[in-house]
Amino acid sequence: MTTLLSADAWRARAEAHAERADALTAGHRERTARGEKHPIEDFLFTYYSYSPSLLRRWHPGPGVELADAAGTPRAEWRWYAPGGEPDSLVVDRATMTAEKGAMLGVVERMLRLTASRPGSFGCFGLHEWAMVYRQREHRHPVPLRLGQAATDEVVEAHELRCTHIDAFRFFTPEATPRNRFEPTRESQPELEQPGCLHAGMDVYKWTVKLGPLAPGELLLDAFELARDIRVLDMRASPYDMEPWGGEPVRIETPEGKAEYVRQQRGFAERANALRGSILDAAFAPVPTR
């Protein structure tokens, strides 16, 4: 049976969702109003180009019927349809699948394939180092923690093992041939693996693409995961993040490597658990009333 939520129940969930979203985006919105930027915390809003307002919109996901919703603005939202009860609404997965089936297939495939593989934990976050290798100008206007020459030496002392196309494509020309893999957009489904920090951040991207098929709580969980991963990503980077609260994880040392892998494994577990929840919510068979 589908779940019927009373008007009071679903409105309370929608309000709580909006409050949680506002708390998660408050710092970014305040900095934007002041014309300031934070190289760690603002990244998710520029790299993925999803606005804070998108995060405020709560969806129940498929198989949930919202009582007395037909007279609300939600009735005008895309991919909602009348439910089994008078004046109720449900997420219209059938219509969304008919219109966006190819995209949904890509999202499902990426989530399932990534979750099905063992994680690889030997990259030590060197993708960020490869993006500045032998370069005078850098993507981020932040000083290098070790300076250019010592940063280059760290890259040269390690094997690059990046499996993620959206990190690899920013490698400098000198760093590209040093990587064990040659990720492409076509090979992404075969190379993506749960140990990759960027693959973990991308759970947020895939969840956004699912639109109303993803319950709002999972969307915010994915955003929080991406935010937490980004902190490690930049703490382990060659940049000096201490002015922004980013105490370095010194991956050029054995202790730093161990700390990076410890956190990397934790993020892989969180990401895979979230992938499973999203797949269950968005793609499991929907019962009828």
Instruction: Tell me the three-class secondary structure of 82-95, residue by residue.
Output: ECCCCCCEEECHHH
Tell me, yes or no, whether 275 lies in a domain. yes
- Would you write out the chain's pLDDT as a tens digit for each of its 289 residues? 689 999 999 999 999 999 999 999 999 999 999 999 898 999 999 999 899 999 999 999 999 999 999 999 999 999 999 999 999 999 999 999 999 999 999 999 999 999 999 999 999 999 999 999 999 877 777 899 999 999 999 999 999 999 999 999 999 999 999 999 999 999 999 999 999 999 999 999 999 999 999 999 999 999 999 999 999 999 999 999 999 888 999 999 999 999 999 999 999 999 999 999 999 999 987 655 5
Q: Which long-range contacts (CB under 8 A, 24 or more apart) does 86-93 make?
A: 88/4, 89/65, 90/2, 90/62, 90/63, 90/64, 90/65, 90/66, 91/59, 91/60, 91/61, 91/62, 91/64, 91/212, 91/213, 93/62, 93/213, 93/286
Tell me, yes or no, whether 288 lies in a domain. no
Tell me, yes or no, whether 112 lies in a domain. yes
Identify whether the C-beta of residue 154 lies closer than 8 Å to the C-beta of residue 127. Answer: no
Tell me, yes or no, whether 231 lies in a domain. yes
Tell me, yes or no, whether 289 lies in a domain. no
CA distances from 173 to 14, 132, 177, 179, 185 (A): 47, 10, 8, 11, 18
Per the structure, the count of domains in the chain is: 1
Q: Which of 102, 114, 61, 59 is nearest to 275 (CA)?
A: 114
- Ramachandran region of residue 147, left (φ > 0), alpha (ψ -120 to 50) or beta? left
Domain that holds residue 136: 3-283
Tell me, yes or no, whether 149 lies in a domain. yes
213: Cβ contacts below 8 Å, ≥ 6 apart: 59, 61, 62, 91, 93, 96, 104, 281, 282, 283
- Ramachandran region of residue 189, left (φ > 0), alpha (ψ -120 to 50) or beta? alpha
Cα(204)–Cα(53) distance, rounded to whole angstroms? Answer: 15
Tell me, yes or no, whether 172 lies in a domain. yes
